[in-house]
């Protein structure tokens, strides 16, 4: 079918507000045909030694390095920010090479062999079979990086991978696909498809396992679709991450960590800090210092190469954040600095916004914000702080900044969330290949995307058992007497 006759989707530029890009989703038939070809290629990919897959993935990392300038340009247009876009290819290269270093070891350690502890005459050996086809549905906030965070270990495990990035930020796909095409062995088992919700539905119909990163409402739909097909799904969803600042905390350290953890990348990170609980004796001093530091943060408008905070990537998100601020003020909260979003040159920007006199039942303390807003609330006792931190439908991550490491650990161990940063905020990326974490409540479902489990998720596990004695004669088996 001629591309002109196909339904195209418009893509908005976050800095200008103008539509300057279009994507053409594949048809259901095209996706099925592509998936069929990838499944055929995956057979050879999976049986190849891990060393082969590692070598191919290293070639891909090299090709990404060669094409960094084009990828950075596209990612910058997608997100409206330059520094983060420039860092993204390096982060992806680092991730690929890091997994290439570790994958063989992790897989080898998972291959169990021994003698049954129940029946000593039975020997066993495990076998790991990769799921043939992974489907990834990734979000718009870190478009390239989050599109490969699950696909990289899956490919090393022996899966093929079909990735659908957000239709809000699809520009990076074109230069990234160029790097994939430069590695023919990889191009057979890795591809991107662009489109909206319908494309995501078609993807689920063509794969054997799904990884989704995004909102809770969409994640629920993805989980239901996977359940109907009886295929596993891993969900990394929203958060409303708390930080507890204790009476003995260093105010310089605490305000630096909270400011960075709330407004970095315009607060458009799933593990951004969105609730700040400060012991009442230091509350006022904390807020005064935080406000002063927040007022030093600059928007990177009009020059994308200057300043600290870019525009909202998804225009509708600015409206969500504005509505939360309106609701908070209506119910008695005070905006100490910053305020609602501004239209600058067509892009929607928001300065770091410190809000005090908030109450726990306000939308700004309950609903995911995903913007550079810092609501600060007093607490009296540590028990109250923990109760407030756990008063949420989410449970992605959280933080504690205390007078010493032991106090921070004591409180952090009581917060119901998967990743807890101590004496800082947003440290989750540090454990990417080391420790495992899962989400609490509505923040996700399935095994850890970090640590050894990240790659082992993509295997089905078999046990091969050998009887070293003659099989038991059925004629010698007697029913147990009734009690």
pLDDT 10s digits, 323-362: 999 999 999 999 999 999 999 999 999 999 999 999 999 9
Q: What is the pLDDT of residues 394-437, one digit of tens each?
A: 999 999 999 999 999 999 999 999 999 999 999 998 998 899 99
Residue 122 domain-assigned (yes or no):
yes
Residue 222 domain-assigned (yes or no):
yes
Domain of residue 192, CATH code = 3.40.605.10
- Considering the candidates 167, 185, 270, 274, report the single residue annotated as catalytic: 270
> Taking the model in full, what pTM does it have?
0.94
Mean per-residue pLDDT for 306-314? 96
- pLDDT tier, 474 (very low <50, low <70, confident <90, very high otherwise): confident
Specify whether 67 is located in the same domain as 134: yes
Specify whether 325 is located in the same domain as 400: yes
Domain range holding 445?
Answer: 3-237+439-465
Mean per-residue pLDDT for 99-128? 96
- Considering the candidates 75, 167, 185, 236, report the single residue annotated as catalytic: 236
Q: Are 451 and 435 a contacting pair, CB within 8 Å?
A: yes
Mean per-residue pLDDT for 6-15? 92
Would the pLDDT of 478 be above 80?
A: no
Residue 224 domain-assigned (yes or no):
yes
Residue 473 domain-assigned (yes or no):
no
Specify whether 221 is located in the same domain as 257: no
Specify whether 147 is located in the same domain as 217: yes
Residue 482 domain-assigned (yes or no):
no
- pLDDT tier, 7 (very low <50, low <70, confident <90, very high otherwise): confident
Specify whether 151 is located in the same domain as 283: no
pLDDT over 70, % of the chain:
98
Residue 479 domain-assigned (yes or no):
no
Would the pLDDT of 264 be above 60?
A: yes
Specify whether 142 is located in the same domain as 291: no
Annotation marks residue 236 as catalytic: yes
- pLDDT tier, 482 (very low <50, low <70, confident <90, very high otherwise): low
Specify whether 188 is located in the same domain as 267: no
Residue 483 domain-assigned (yes or no):
no
Residue 427 domain-assigned (yes or no):
yes
What confidence score (pLDDT) does residue 427 get? 95
Specify whether 73 is located in the same domain as 221: yes
Mean per-residue pLDDT for 266-283? 96
Specify whether 229 is located in the same domain as 245: no
Distance, CA of 465 to CA of 160 (rounded, Å): 29
Give how many domains the chain has, as a whole number.
2
Would the pLDDT of 4 be above 80?
A: no
Would the pLDDT of 52 be above 70?
A: yes
Specify whether 459 is located in the same domain as 314: no
Specify whether 153 is located in the same domain as 265: no
Specify whether 209 is located in the same domain as 83: yes
Domain of residue 368, CATH code = 3.40.309.10
């Amino acid at each position: 079918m001629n591309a002109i006759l196909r339904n195209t989707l418009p893509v908005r530029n976050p800095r200008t507000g103008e539509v300057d890009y279009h994507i053409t989703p594949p048809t259901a038939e095209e996706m099925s045909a592509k998936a069929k070809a990838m499944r055929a290629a995956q057979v050879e990919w999976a049986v190849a030694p891990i060393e082969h897959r590692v070598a191919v993935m290293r070639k891909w990392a090299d090709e990404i390095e060669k094409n960094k300038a084009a990828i950075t340009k596209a990612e910058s247009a997608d997100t409206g920010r330059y520094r983060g876009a420039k860092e993204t290819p390096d982060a992806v290269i680092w991730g690929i090479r890091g997994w290439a270093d570790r994958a063989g070891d992790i897989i080898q350690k998972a291959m169990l062999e021994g003698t049954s502890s129940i029946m000593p005459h039975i020997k066993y050996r495990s076998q790991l079979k990769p799921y043939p086809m992974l489907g990834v549905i990734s979000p718009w906030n870190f478009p390239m990086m989050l599109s490969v965070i699950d696909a990289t270990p899956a490919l090393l495990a022996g899966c093929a991978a079909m990735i659908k990035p957000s239709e809000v930020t699809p520009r990076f796909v074109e230069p990234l696909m160029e790097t994939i095409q430069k590695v023919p062995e990889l191009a057979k088992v890795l591809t991107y498809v662009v489109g909206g919700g319908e494309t995501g539905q078609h993807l689920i119909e063509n794969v054997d396992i799904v990884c989704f990163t995004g909102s809770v409402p969409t994640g629920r739909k993805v989980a239901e679709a996977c359940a109907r097909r009886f295929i596993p799904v891993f969900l990394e969803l929203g958060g409303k991450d708390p930080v507890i600042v204790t009476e003995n905390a260093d105010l310089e350290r605490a305000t630096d960590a909270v400011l960075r953890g709330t407004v970095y990348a315009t607060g458009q990170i799933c593990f951004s800090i969105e609730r700040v609980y400060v012991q009442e004796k230091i509350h006022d001093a904390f807020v005064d210092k935080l406000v002063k530091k927040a007022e030093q943060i600059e928007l990177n408008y009009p020059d994308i190469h200057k300043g600290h905070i870019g525009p909202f990537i998804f225009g509708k998100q600015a409206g969500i954040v504005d509505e939360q601020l309106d609701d908070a003020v209506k119910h008695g909260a005070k905006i100490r600095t910053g305020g609602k979003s501004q239209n600058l040159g067509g892009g929607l920007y928001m300065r770091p916004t410190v809000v005090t006199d908030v109450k726990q039942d306000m939308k700004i303390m309950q609903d995911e914000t995903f913007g550079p807003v810092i609501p600060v609330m007093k607490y009296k006792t540590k028990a109250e702080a923990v109760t407030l931190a756990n008063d949420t439908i989410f449970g992605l991550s959280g933080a504690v900044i205390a007078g010493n490491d032991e106090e921070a650990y004591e409180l952090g161990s009581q917060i119901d969330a998967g990743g807890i940063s101590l004496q800082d905020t947003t440290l989750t990326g540090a454990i990417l290949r080391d420790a495992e974490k899962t989400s609490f409540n509505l923040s996700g479902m399935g095994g850890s995307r970090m640590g050894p489990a990240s790659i082992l998720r993509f295997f089905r596990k078999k046990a091969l058992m050998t009887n070293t004695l003659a099989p038991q004669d059925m004629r010698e088996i007697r029913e147990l007497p009734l009690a």
